[in-house]
Amino acid sequence: MYFTFNQVQHLIDSNVKIEADPPVIVGAMATNVDVQCSFNRDQSLDMTAVSSITLAHSNSTGQRLFIYIASVNAVDRHAHNLTNGVQVLSGSDVNSVTGQSRLRIRFKYPESNYLGAFLCEVNGFDQIGRPITKYALSDVLPYNLSDVLNLINSLKSCNSNHLDFIDSLIRTLYPKLESNFYPPLLYNGHKYYLSSSPMRLFNYTKAQLICGEFGGYIAELDNHEEYLFVISYIENYINIDQSTYLYTGAIQEDQNGVWINKHSVAADITFDWGPGQPTRSSGENCQCFSQTNILTLGVCECF
């Protein structure tokens, strides 16, 4: 099952902020999610010195049980990782001359471990040395795309002339499309989205499921004209290099040398293969673009 993760912020103290970047993602699409806790001492009249900033996480947003995951303090001024599963990116001097204090962590390839509640805790002292603690709380909630997709499909069936309104609704309900994809282009009645999030290894089945959540599928090149359109789209947004691979929907099953467009189940298509392609190496069962093939089609590993 795939979720969007939506941040809901509770400002317990207006000078303490906790933010997620990006605030909305679909599982398996974003490679990184950063969570930052920040505090502006100059705008806090009651806290004259900061002793530490700590980030804590709870798997539940109801009965919250927080576990500290990262901290930075005024003694050694270094950020510390207090648990596995997160990477501490930075922690600024909590009593810097700028008055700004920050602690930033990163979740790599986030899934359900990113859900729950985050607590930013700022500890310090007032003018006569009494301890003060300030908080900010942010809930990260699951959001099922299927319900929204059903609503959008219903609206489309009611009146096909309201496409502009529907597109606006999609952008409102799916901010993840703007976070993880380049602006779409329209060709032959279909919208094409190009992922801006690199993947360490392409999972064909999972990618089809993610596209399916939006009522689509991995783009398939049915003819030379569509191939030229996709090439133009890629060149508009990506400076492709030797390590970049852009996958299409064609696949080779059973290493039999027969390539088909999986969604349309179309075979015997004349693809614009690059020189020496397609090869028949083990594990290379997906079709892709790469700089190695000079923006022509080749075969790439997938699972």
In the chain, domain spans: 16-144, 178-300
Instruction: Provide the pLDDT for residue 5.
Output: 43
Q: Is 152 left (phi over 0), alpha (psi -120 to 50) or beta?
A: alpha
Which of 19-33, 59-73, 97-111, 202-216 comes out lowest in average pLDDT?
19-33
Max Cα–Cα distance, the chain, nearest Å: 81
- The answer, yes or no, to whether residue 2 has pLDDT greater than 50, is no
> Which of 97, 9, 82, 88 is CA-nearest to residue 50?
97
Is the Cβ–Cβ distance between 122 and 134 less than 8 Å?
A: yes
Higher pLDDT, 28 or 121: 121
- What topology does CATH give the domain 178-300? Mannose-Binding Protein A; Chain A (3.10.100)
What integer is the mean pLDDT of 122-149? Answer: 80
**DSSP track, 102-161:** EEEEEEES-SGGG-EEEEEEEEEE-TTS-EEEEEEEEEEEEEEHHHHHHHHHHHHHH-TT
Higher pLDDT, 289 or 218: 218
The mean of the pLDDT values for the chain is 77
Homologous superfamily assigned to 16-144 = Immunoglobulins (2.60.40.10)
pLDDT tens-digit profile of 40-74?
887 777 888 888 999 998 888 778 889 999 998 88
> Which of 190, 166, 203, 195 is CA-nearest to residue 179?
195
Instruction: Provide the pLDDT for residue 170.
Output: 60
Q: For residue 125, what are the β-bridge partners?
A: 49, 131
What integer is the mean pLDDT of 235-248? Answer: 74
Supply the pTM of this predicted model: 0.50
What integer is the mean pLDDT of 296-302? Answer: 86
pLDDT tens-digit profile of 247-270?
899 998 777 788 888 888 766 678
